[in-house]
Structure 1
Amino acid sequence: MARQLLKLRHVPEDERAEICELLETHDIAFYETSAGNWGISLPALWLVHDEQYEQARALLDSYSEERFKRARSEYEALKQAGKARTFMDIARENPFRVMLYLAIVFVLAYFSIAPFVAIM
């Protein structure tokens, strides 16, 4: 019976492709389900043979660890070069959105705290 290996919702396309390539390289039979036309179905990778789950899970865990280390080192390199995106970069790119989000945070904080403090 088929067994779900990985849910693909919010998984970047490059990561999905690398995982599929990894499974194919190790001769693990799998298939992929999409989110469907309306995006309400479950996009996932499924193993055809249930007995390959442990091997696939171990491969996926090691891949995830390696991808994390690679992404972290890329971020650190950008940070060392002074090219990593900061909050100020985002604020410069779209100041209206940042001000709107900050206003929403302050309004929510005000209405959350106001009943307990005599601010009104």
Structure 2
Amino acid sequence: MAKLLLNLRNVGDDESQEVGELLDLNHIPWYRTEASPWGISHGGIWLRDNDDHPRAKALMATYQAERTQRMRAAHEASVRDGTAQTFSGLFRQRPFYVIAVLLGMIAAAALVLLPFVLLRG
């Protein structure tokens, strides 16, 4: 029976590809399900055999620790050389998007707080 190893929600293509390569390298049979068109399911990487799950989880723990270190080092390098994404950089690139998101956040906060303001007054 199949066992879910990795839910692909918020997982990049590079990471899911690396996980597939890791499983192939360790001769663990797996398959991938794709996200649903309506966003109900985000897909996943599944193991074909339940017996492989403990070994695959151990491999995933090692992989994720190594990936975390790699991604942090890459981020620190981009901060050092000035290529990291910043709020001011995003605002310069996409000012209307940033303003729209900020207005949306203010509107959402206002809708949440409105009942308390009305009940108090």
TM-score between both structures, scaled by the size of structure 1 = 0.83
User: What's the counterpart of residue 15 of structure 2?
Assistant: 15
CA gap 1:79/1:45 in 2 versus in 1, 3 angstroms: same
Partner SS for 1:27:
coil
CA gap 1:107/1:31 in 2 versus in 1, 3 angstroms: closer
Q: Which shows bigger deviation, 29-38 or 10-19? A: 29-38
For residues 1-60 of structure 1, give each alpha carbon's deviation from its aligned partner in whole angstroms, at most 9, with x where no partner exists.
211111123321111111001001111111122225555445111111111100000101
User: What's the counterpart of residue 60 of structure 1?
Assistant: 60
User: What's the counterpart of residue 94 of structure 1?
Assistant: 94
Question: What amino acid does structure 2 have at the position aligned with 1:62?
Answer: T
Q: State the distance in 1 between where 2:42 and 2:85 align.
A: 33
Partner SS for 2:23:
helix
Structure 1 residue 107: Cα displacement: 3.6
Question: What amino acid does structure 1 have at the position aligned with 2:82?
Answer: G
CA gap 1:98/1:29 in 2 versus in 1, 3 angstroms: same
Question: What amino acid does structure 1 have at the position aligned with 2:50?
Answer: D
Structure 1 residue 110: Cα displacement: 4.2
Structure 1 residue 88: Cα displacement: 0.1
CA gap 1:35/1:99 in 2 versus in 1, 3 angstroms: closer
User: What's the counterpart of residue 81 of structure 1?
Assistant: 81
Q: Which shows bigger deviation, 2-11 or 29-38? A: 29-38
Question: What amino acid does structure 2 have at the position aligned with 1:34?
Answer: E
Identity of aligned pairs, percent? 36
For residues 60-103 of structure 1, give each alpha carbon's deviation from its aligned partner in whole angstroms, at most 9, with x where no partner exists.
11111111110110010111112211100000011112122222
Partner SS for 1:32:
strand
Q: State the distance in 1 between where 2:62 and 2:102 align.
A: 39
Point out where structure 2 has 5 or more consecutive residues left out of the alignment. Answer: none
Partner SS for 1:68:
helix
Partner SS for 1:84:
coil
Partner SS for 1:31:
strand
